[in-house]
């Protein structure tokens, strides 16, 4: 529904590009910029002009690439590698990561200022086990795609198979579901999948440990709160302790920071 929907959508996997080629891939390069640069190359920003640029695994960007990316976002312009001319760009930037990016910021592996530039609208996709209501729609979509790919006529699963799908933990999320269904499509002769072979060693009837899930969720919230508070109070532990209403003693907060491997000194700069 965006005004950019009819424009280019350019995806790039930052984790799949050699570090030596990263800046060239993203920002482009001029002819003769380095050995092998025999012609002008447009980077993904230029190719996505007017449309959308999707940076997958954005946490894999090198420090140099992060610095240049920050400038592009701030100024809406870039320079190709080996170039001297500023090129104006107009793109919508979408970035994705499967790690907690704030952890990377705390560890000094991702620029804090860049984090706040790319984290304008945060869309967190929960694991498949937490959104079982999506399973029927995903199963229908995957079956349609895999049947077309393999020239099959499979279009549904039996009720018993659907129950099995709902009971499984899907530790590999949608990719595991996709691979499992594709395997069944290949060996199904009719239109309905009646048997589903799950990966060996994974139980389809594992029970969710509520206490463990609760502790993990609370720890995630606590860690995020500490990191945001450290930035807000510039590393002042006493103010954070007062804000959290846990203790006026700084040791309590320090213990939590140690637990999550957060260095408060990083926030006092």
CA distances to 6, 90, 124, 139, 177 from 132, rounded to whole Å, are 32, 38, 16, 11, 12
Number of residues that this document lists for the chain: 269
Domain of residue 136: give its range: 128-193
Question: Rounded to whole angstroms, how far apart are CA atoms 133 and 155?
Answer: 19
Question: Rounded to whole angstroms, how far apart are CA atoms 128 and 137?
Answer: 12
- In the Cβ-directed half-sphere of 159, how many Cα atoms lie within 13 Å? 0
Which residue, chain included where needed, has tokens 């086990």? 129
Is 199 a domain residue?
no
Same domain, 17 and 112: yes
Whether 189 has a pLDDT exceeding 60, the answer reads: yes
Same domain, 112 and 136: no
Same domain, 27 and 112: yes
Same domain, 16 and 114: yes
Q: pTM for this structure?
A: 0.62
Is 81 a domain residue?
yes
**What pLDDT is attached to residue 201?**
52
| Tally of domains in the chain | 3
Residue 40 carries which DSSP code?
-
Is 83 a domain residue?
yes
**What pLDDT is attached to residue 206?**
47
Sorted by sequence, the CB contacts under 8 Å of residue 20 that are 6+ apart come out as none
Residue 41 vs residue 133, higher pLDDT: 133
Same domain, 160 and 254: no
Same domain, 218 and 253: yes
Is 257 a domain residue?
yes
Same domain, 75 and 151: no
Question: Rounded to whole angstroms, how far apart are CA atoms 146 and 161?
Answer: 17
Sorted by sequence, the CB contacts under 8 Å of residue 23 that are 6+ apart come out as 64, 65, 68, 81
At 159, which CATH number?
A: 1.10.8.60
Same domain, 114 and 132: no
Is 256 a domain residue?
yes
**Domain end marker among 69, 93, 118:** 118
Whether 208 has a pLDDT exceeding 60, the answer reads: no
Is 24 a domain residue?
yes
Is 123 a domain residue?
no
**What pLDDT is attached to residue 58?**
93
Is 3 a domain residue?
no
Question: Rounded to whole angstroms, how far apart are CA atoms 25 and 136?
Answer: 38
At 36, which CATH number?
A: 3.40.50.300
Answer for the pair 185, 197: CB distance below 8 angstroms, yes or no.
Answer: no
**What token pair was written down for 218?**
């609370």
**What pLDDT is attached to residue 149?**
95
Question: Rounded to whole angstroms, how far apart are CA atoms 26 and 14?
Answer: 9
Sorted by sequence, the CB contacts under 8 Å of residue 7 that are 6+ apart come out as 50, 51, 52
Same domain, 74 and 94: yes
pLDDT tens for 56-111 read: 999 998 888 898 889 899 889 888 888 888 889 999 999 999 888 888 999 999 99
Same domain, 72 and 16: yes
* Terminal alpha carbon distance of the chain: 42
Same domain, 134 and 111: no
Same domain, 95 and 162: no
**What pLDDT is attached to residue 261?**
79
What number of other Cβ atoms are within 10 A of residue 200's Cβ? 5
Question: Rounded to whole angstroms, how far apart are CA atoms 173 and 89?
Answer: 35
pLDDT tens for 138-167 read: 999 999 999 999 999 999 999 999 999 988
**What pLDDT is attached to residue 249?**
62
Question: Rounded to whole angstroms, how far apart are CA atoms 80 and 45?
Answer: 10
**Domain end marker among 137, 163, 193:** 193
pLDDT grade for 204, boundaries at 50, 70 and 90: very low
> Could you tell me how many helices (H) and strands (E) the chain has, helices first?
11, 7
Give the pairing type, strands 192-193 and 52-56: unpaired
* Residue 211, phi then psi, degrees to nearest 5: -60, -45
**Domain end marker among 96, 118, 140:** 118
């Amino acid at each position: 529904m965006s005004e950019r929907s009819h424009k280019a959508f350019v995806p790039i996997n930052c984790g799949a590009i050699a570090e030596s080629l990263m800046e060239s891939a993203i920002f482009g390069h001029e002819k003769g910029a380095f050995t092998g640069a025999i012609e002008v190359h447009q980077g993904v920003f230029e190719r996505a002009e007017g449309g959308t640029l999707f940076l997958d695994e954005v946490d894999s960007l090198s420090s140099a690439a992060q610095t240049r990316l920050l400038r592009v976002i701030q100024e809406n312009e870039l320079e190709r590698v080996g170039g001297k001319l500023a090129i104006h760009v107009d793109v919508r930037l979408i970035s994705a990561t499967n790690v907690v990016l704030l952890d990377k910021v705390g560890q000094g592996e991702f620029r804090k200022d860049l984090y706040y530039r790319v984290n304008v609208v945060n869309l967190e996709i929960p694991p498949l086990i937490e959104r079982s209501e999506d399973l029927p729609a995903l199963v229908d979509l995957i079956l349609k795609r895999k049947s077309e790919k393999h020239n099959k006529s499979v279009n549904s699963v039996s009720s018993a198979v659907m129950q099995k799908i709902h009971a499984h933990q899907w530790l590999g999320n949608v990719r595991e579901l996709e691979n499992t269904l594709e395997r069944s499509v290949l060996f199904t002769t009719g239109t309905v999948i009646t048997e589903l072979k799950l990966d060996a060693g994974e139980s389809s009837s594992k029970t969710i440990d509520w206490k463990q899930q609760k502790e993990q969720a609370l720890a995630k919230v606590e860690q995020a709160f500490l990191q945001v508070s450290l930035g807000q109070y510039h590393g002042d532990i006493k103010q954070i302790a007062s804000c959290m209403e846990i203790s006026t003693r700084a040791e309590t907060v320090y213990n939590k920071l140690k637990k999550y491997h957060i260095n408060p000194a990083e926030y006092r700069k």
